């Protein structure tokens, strides 16, 4: 079954039900109605509400529209592909985009299928070197090579690859897949790459001419300077939003409906999307996503949408289970599991112990002798424990998808800097010492919550010290609480907590080029501390690179509320550093938020690698 076609069919039928679904009424954006992440993907709630007289025909019964961007392999399974810009094997020496399957307009794919059919009669096949290219990838190429003779300007140029009707191909043996002799390799910027075949071998000239003649026969226009480049004569517009690296079709993840707003964060509601209603994602914008619903464009809160196809998650995570209650024990087990699964890429260590005696593990991906070193840490605040899952899920995904192919980088991932606090917040109960802190917070008017709610909102470590206020970067200026508390107590002095000392000691062991601290919540990136240069400018540059893949807002905090790990890394060590706040609603984040959080953040790792090699 073709995935996107099936989703579009669901969109058609669910749209027909929108009127009756709206009549149900109720409150906006209520909690999750979809099954838990561990449920089988076939348990799709929106289908169970369809009246018996409505039936859904097989996906194969409806052909994609000519202008739909589709995965080429779904329609030409025999075609070979080796996308040059999904590897470092291109003229830039960098991976330019984060997917490895070619996409083209369906009308273009149909023509390409005719080419393949004719060539197959001669025992010849095609290999794709490049197909659809996101606008951001085009901009990256232009940044590296701003020469319109070789790279189309991402703003004013033709941008044929961004239209999805241009393809770079070569000939291969149909059975062997081995490339046939051709005038040059891909991305050769010399005169030998043009279509004057007098300067290459007779066999290479014959093959290039055969490719050109066959492609022209079925409606492709060749580009003279590049023997491999062909553009469909049927025109399509530049697609500003499509990116195969993230899901396209998303579903409303709520009990009744979510609001489609005119602007991000605005009050004006232009439509309501019922539970299970399908939207096309266009771009991320802070806490919101710009989507198209029934032909209407608007904004929805990202916490209330999820990919319509569960396999996006179920297929990409081999070791780490998707959950918003990712325990310390599960994290330790998964660190060991990933090391066993990828012994050549992964090493592990313990950076220290927590105040209550738990080991704090680090997962290293890459060579410790690498040119660049990046430290990422999460769950320094107890109730923000979803960030431990996120970091482990990112590691799981990229170990399977070639993270080390982005450059000579070693990633040091500390998923849970505050294991005692995380265990407390997830358990929702307090020990004797913590119960005394709770009683004092009640007496001082800091909380009126019942014990369980108080515990789930806990931010500090197991002894009531906020680790992210325990670093010597404006520590003496902090205004908070004067005694151990669930939050805001910075300790008796900087580095008074075992956890802060463990982070300090590990950070000083390596010459880190970047640090990233994951927090929740807010969908924003903080990127500076104080006024020190050039580290703040470099942090701002890094933040913009991360913003490109996450769509999060940018905030230069200027050290207003310092003493955090990021602040210390910038101030004391002059390391470009970020704090990334994920999610939209109050921590601890609900399970429904992990879908958009993962989709927005998993490409942060390659984005950092690209930034380091800029």
pLDDT at 561: 74
Tally of helices (H runs) and strands (E runs) in the chain: 18, 22
Q: Are 60 and 2 in contact (CB under 8 A)?
A: yes
Q: Distance between CA atoms of 588 and 160, rounded to whole angstroms?
A: 45
Does the structure show a pLDDT above 50 at 318?
yes
The pLDDT of residue 29 is above 60: no
Q: At what angle do helices 419-427 and 328-341 cross, to 10 degrees?
A: 120
Q: Which of 247-251, 350-354, 477-481 reaches the highest mean pLDDT?
A: 350-354
For residue 12, is pLDDT > 60? no
**pLDDT grade, residue 150 (50/70/90)?**
confident
CATH number of the domain at 69-232, please? 3.30.1380.10
493-504: buried (b, 16+ CB within 10 Å) or exposed (e) per residue?
ebbebbbbbbbb
Give yes or no for residue 296 having a pLDDT over 70. Answer: yes
What is the four-CA torsion angle of 137, 142, 145, 151, rounded to 10 degrees? 90
Query: Which among 314, 153, 320, 364 is positioned nearest to 238, based on CA atoms?
Result: 153
* pLDDT for the residue 241: 87
Give the CB-side neighbour count of residue 3, counting CA atoms within 13 A: 17
State yes or no: pLDDT of 592 exceeds 70. yes
Angle at 227 between CA 225 and CA 230, to 5 degrees: 95
Q: Is the omega angle on the peptide bond into residue 588 within 30 degrees of 0, that is, cis?
A: yes
Question: Does 48 or 294 have the greater pLDDT score?
Answer: 294
Query: Half-sphere exposure of 102 toward its Cβ, with a 13 Å CA cutoff?
Result: 30
For residue 58, name the pLDDT band (cuts at 50, 70, 90): very low
CATH for 326-427+449-612?
3.40.630.10
Residues 174 and 119: their CA atoms lie apart, in Å, by 9
Confidence of residue 582 (pLDDT cuts 50, 70, 90): very high
User: For a pLDDT cut of 90, what percent of the chain falls above it?
Assistant: 79
Lowest mean pLDDT among 25-29, 194-198, 338-342, 546-550: 25-29
169-220: per-residue pLDDT in tens?
999 999 999 999 999 999 998 999 999 999 999 999 999 999 999 999 999 9
> Does pLDDT of 287 surpass 50?
yes
d(CA 321, CA 591) in angstroms, rounded, equals 12
- Say whether pLDDT at 57 is over 60: no
pLDDT for 558 equals 55
For residues 504 and 351, the answer to whether their CB atoms sit within 8 Å is no
**261 has a pLDDT exceeding 50:** yes
558 or 459, which is more confident: 459
**pLDDT tens-digit map of 427-449:** 999 999 999 999 999 999 999 99
Average pLDDT over residues 584-591: 93
The token pair at 193 is 């790459």
Do residues 420 and 358 make contact, with C-beta atoms less than 8 angstroms apart? yes
Locate the domains of the chain by residue range.
3-61+255-313, 69-232, 326-427+449-612
Please give the mean pLDDT across all residues of the chain: 89
In terms of Cα–Cα distance, which of 610, 549, 543, 608 is closest to 141? 610
Residue 34: pLDDT above 70? Answer: no
pLDDT of residue 24: 29
pLDDT mean over 514-536: 96
**Would you say residue 459 has pLDDT above 70?**
yes
End-to-end CA distance of the chain, in Å?
41
Q: Write down the architecture of domain 3-61+255-313 according to CATH.
A: Roll (2.30)
């Amino acid at each position: 079954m073709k995935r996107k076609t099936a989703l579009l069919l669901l969109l058609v039928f669910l749209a027909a039900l929108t009127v009756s679904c709206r009549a149900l009424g109720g409150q906006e954006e209520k909690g999750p109605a979809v099954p838990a992440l561990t449920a089988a993907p076939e348990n799709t709630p929106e289908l169970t509400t369809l009246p018996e007289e409505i039936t859904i025909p097989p996906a194969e019964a409806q052909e994609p529209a000519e202008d739909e961007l589709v995965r080429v392999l779904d329609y030409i399974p025999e075609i070979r592909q080796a996308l040059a810009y999904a590897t470092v094997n291109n003229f830039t020496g960098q991976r330019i985009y984060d997917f490895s399957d070619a996409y083209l307009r369906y009308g273009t794919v149909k023509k390409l299928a005719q080419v393949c059919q004719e060539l197959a009669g001669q025992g010849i096949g095609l290999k794709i070197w490049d197909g659809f290219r996101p606008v951001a990838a085009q901009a990256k190429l232009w940044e590296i090579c701003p020469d319109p003779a070789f790279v189309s300007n991402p703003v004013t140029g033709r941008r044929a690859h961004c239209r999805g009707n241009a393809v770079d191909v070569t000939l291969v043996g149909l059975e062997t897949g081995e490339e046939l002799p051709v005038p040059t390799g891909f991305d050769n910027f010399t005169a030998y790459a043009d279509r004057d075949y007098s300067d290459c071998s007779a066999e290479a000239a014959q093959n290039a001419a055969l490719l050109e003649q066959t492609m022209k026969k079925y409606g492709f226009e060749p580009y003279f300077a590049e023997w491999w480049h062909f553009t469909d004569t049927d025109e399509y517009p530049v697609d500003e939003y499509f990116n195969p690296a993230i899901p396209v079709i998303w579903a409303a993840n709520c009990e009744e409906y979510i609001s489609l707003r005119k602007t991000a964060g605005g009050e004006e509601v232009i439509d309501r999307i019922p539970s299970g209603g399908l939207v096309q994602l266009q771009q991320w914008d802070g806490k919101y996503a710009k989507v198209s619903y029934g032909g209407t464009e608007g904004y929805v809160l990202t916490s209330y949408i999820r990919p319509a196809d569960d396999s996006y998650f179920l297929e990409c995570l081999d070791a780490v289970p998707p959950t918003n209650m990712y325990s310390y024990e599960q994290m330790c087990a998964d660190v060991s599991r990933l090391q066993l699964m990828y012994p050549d890429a992964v090493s592990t260590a313990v950076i220290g112990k927590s105040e209550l005696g738990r080991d704090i593990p680090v997962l290293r991906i890459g060579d410790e002798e690498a040119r660049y070193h990046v430290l990422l840490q999460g769950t320094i605040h107890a109730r923000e424990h979803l960030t431990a899952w996120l970091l482990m899920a990112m590691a799981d995904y990229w170990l399977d998808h070639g993270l080390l192919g982005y450059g000579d980088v070693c990633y040091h991932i500390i998923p849970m800097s505050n294991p005692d606090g995380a265990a407390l917040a997830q358990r929702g109960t307090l020990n004797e010492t913590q119960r005394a802190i709770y009683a004092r917070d009640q007496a001082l008017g800091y909380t009126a919550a019942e014990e369980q709610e108080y515990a789930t909102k806990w931010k500090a470590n197991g002894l009531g010290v906020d680790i992210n206020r325990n670093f010597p970067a404006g520590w003496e200026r902090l205004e908070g609480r004067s005694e151990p508390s669930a939050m805001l107590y910075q300790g008796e002095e900087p580095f008074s907590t075992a956890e802060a000392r463990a982070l300090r000691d590990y950070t000083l062991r390596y010459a880190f080029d970047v640090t990233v601290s994951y927090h929740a919540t807010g969908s924003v990136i903080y990127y500076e501390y104080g006024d020190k240069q050039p580290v703040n400018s470099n942090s701002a540059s890094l933040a913009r690179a991360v913003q490109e893949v996450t769509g999060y807002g940018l905030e230069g905090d200027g050290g207003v509320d310092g003493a955090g790990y990021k602040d210390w890394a910038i101030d004391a060590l002059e390391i470009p550093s970020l704090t990334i706040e994920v999610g939209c609603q109050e921590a601890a984040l609900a399970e429904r938020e992990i879908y958009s959080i993962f989709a927005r953040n998993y490409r942060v790792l390659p984005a950092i690698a690209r930034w380091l090699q800029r």
